[in-house]
Structure 1
Amino acid sequence: MKGIILAGGSGTRLYPLTKAISKQMLPIYDKPMIYYPLSVLMLAGIKEVLIISTPRDIAAFEELLGDGSDYGMKFEYIIQEKPNGLAEAFVLGEEFIGKSSVALVLGDNIFYGSDFGNRLQKVAASENGCTIFGCYVKDPRAYGVVEVDENRNAISIEEKPDMPKSSLAIPGLYFFSNEVIAVAKNVSPSIRGEKEITSVIEHFLNKRTLKVEILGRGLAWLDTGTHESLLDASNFVEAIQKRQGLYIACIEEIAYRRGYISKEKLLKLAKPLLKTEYGKYLEDISKQPQSKVFLEV
């Protein structure tokens, strides 16, 4: 399976913060926002990632992340000229995806929870149909909403409904079979002029190949679409890291614990960061007994 991070858009709801910088470059406590969706793909076992962004911002992502070799991975980059909808990611990424299955994660979504990595790996192992997630929220009207029956089978999908049929919002993380490329090509733009991801998901719903993973109380999902939610996300990450002493979305740590990079490589990555707590954390990880390297992250 391959992965796509959609890190485009104009970020107008966060102006003036995003007038000169990509939203996905903004800090969430101690690291750039894009580290969080990238860590999700890494936890799923995905090592080839395509990053889609705007003509203005694509070079900054390349400078930040490089070609992926620092993390034992492979990164590619492509420009989305205009925000034409999430489903366009599969059209733009057709050559990158090839004959593989693919996961799409939005660049402004943050996930955190125990055993989440193992759940992601199980979902990524399936190459059939589509798997989405359902997350309980107090007010789902601002999101896509999935309705499920008593056996957790999907019944309906709605985009930002005025009268939601359930409290299960659909976060920006989707797993698809290779069929998604053809489906996305045939999706007609909505009244907003965008190729909606909901239309793609509905195709798999109608074929009865849509699976829904319910995220329960033990998993946090945060989006960062407003100044308040941006601050909330930073405060959340700070609280967890200071309380546990374990970092969220530390891509160097994940690469090391998953065996993508060696201890020597980890220390090399830590060296220019040693004036920060982040760099010291990486150095501390390298000193742990080898038996602890493959702990869940």
Structure 2
Amino acid sequence: MKGIILAGGAGSRLHPMTVAVSKQLMPVYDKPLIYYPLTTLMLAGIREILIITTPRDQPVFQALLGDGSQWGLKLSFIAQDEPRGLADAYRLGADFVDAGPSALILGDNIFYGDGAGRVFAEAGRSLTAERGAMVFAYRVADPRRYGVVELDVAGRPLSIEEKPAFPRSPWAVTGLYFYDGQAPEIAAGLRPSARGELEITDLNRAYMEQGRLGVERLGRGFAWLDTGTPDSLLDAAAFVRTLEQRQGFKIACPEEVAWHMGWIDAAALQALAESFGAADYGAYLRGVLAAG
């Protein structure tokens, strides 16, 4: 399975912070924002990842992430010249996906929870001829801000709406989606919405109308954070800081994830730790290595 991180857009809700810097390069406590969706895909066992960004920001992402080989990954990049909606990821990434299964994650979403990697990996494995897509629903206080899925008593989707004025349920569709190889073909047939964008909700609705959309609800043991506003960005940083300082481990550390997944060896982790010099991040990696 391949992964796509959508890290384009103007980040206008974060202006002026994002006038010259991509939203996904902004810090969330001690790491760039893009580390969080990147490690979510890594924990799901995905090693070949396409990062969609803007022409202006692509060189900076490449400077930050390289080709991914330092983490046992294969990263590639493509530029989206203007925002066309989330489902446009499958127009741009059609050759990359190559008619195979894939996971799409939004570059400003953070997922946290015990066993999250197992849950997401199982979602990818659940794709079959009868289930072509899997999305995750999260209960929110104000569903009007999100794509909303209505479920029957068995947890099957009945309707999906984008930012409804009168939501039919409190379940928001999160920014992590698993699709079979038909996603690029279905996305190519979508019409732009009233906003002039190819909506991910319409792609999910197409799978639902085929009877091939699965929905898994993320319960109280999970946190899903959308960092698209100054307040939510600050809340995410406070969340990460609290957990890291309380428990003594880092969230969304690609070096640590790669080490525990067996994608890099001890020598590679040691070299990565030394590359950070006397910084706390390097000291943390040395501690990871010492702990085995």
Give the structure-1-normalised TM-score.
Answer: 0.96
Q: How does 1:1-297 map to 2 (within 5 A)?
A: 1-128=1-128, 129-289=132-292
For 2:199 and 2:120, how far apart are their aligned partners in 1? 24
Q: Deviations over 1:112-170 (max 9, x none)?
A: 11111110111111333100000000111000001111111111101000110100011
Query: 1:12: how far off?
Result: 1.0
Query: 1:36: how far off?
Result: 0.2
Query: 1:276: how far off?
Result: 2.0
Q: Deviations over 1:223-247 (max 9, x none)?
A: 1111111111000000000011111
Match of 1:293 in 2: none
For 1:112 and 1:235, how far apart are their aligned partners in 2? 14
Residue type matched to 1:263 in 2?
Answer: A
For 1:275 and 1:160, how far apart are their aligned partners in 2? 46
For 1:277 and 1:152, how far apart are their aligned partners in 2? 44
Q: Deviations over 1:24-68 (max 9, x none)?
A: 000000000000000110011000000000011011111100111
Given that residues 99 and 182 in structure 2 are in contact (C-alpha distance below 8 angstroms), is that contact kept between their aligned partners in structure 1? no
For 1:81 and 1:285, how far apart are their aligned partners in 2? 40
For 1:278 and 1:100, how far apart are their aligned partners in 2? 36
Equivalenced residues, count: 289
Comparing 44-53 and 95-104, the one that deviates more: 95-104
For 2:43 and 2:167, how far apart are their aligned partners in 1? 31
SS in 2 for 1:171: strand
Comparing 258-267 and 117-126, the one that deviates more: 117-126
Residue type matched to 2:267 in 1?
Answer: E
Residue type matched to 1:277 in 2?
Answer: D
Residue type matched to 1:146 in 2?
Answer: V
Match of 1:295 in 2: none
For 2:95 and 2:133, how far apart are their aligned partners in 1? 20
For 1:275 and 1:20, how far apart are their aligned partners in 2? 29
SS in 1 for 2:174: coil
Give 4+ residue runs of structure 1 displaced > 6 Å after superposition. Answer: none
Query: 1:275: how far off?
Result: 1.9
SS in 1 for 2:56: coil
For 2:275 and 2:43, how far apart are their aligned partners in 1? 25
Residue type matched to 2:85 in 1?
Answer: G
For 2:241 and 2:32, how far apart are their aligned partners in 1? 14
Residue type matched to 2:105 in 1?
Answer: V
Task: Name structure 1 gaps, 5 residues minimum.
Answer: 290-297
For 1:163 and 1:260, how far apart are their aligned partners in 2? 47
Query: 1:191: how far off?
Result: 1.0
Give the structure-2-normalised TM-score.
Answer: 0.98
SS in 1 for 2:202: helix
RMSD between superposed Cα atoms in Å: 0.8
Match of 1:292 in 2: none
For 2:255 and 2:10, how far apart are their aligned partners in 1? 29
SS in 1 for 2:86: coil
SS in 1 for 2:214: strand
Query: 1:199: how far off?
Result: 0.7
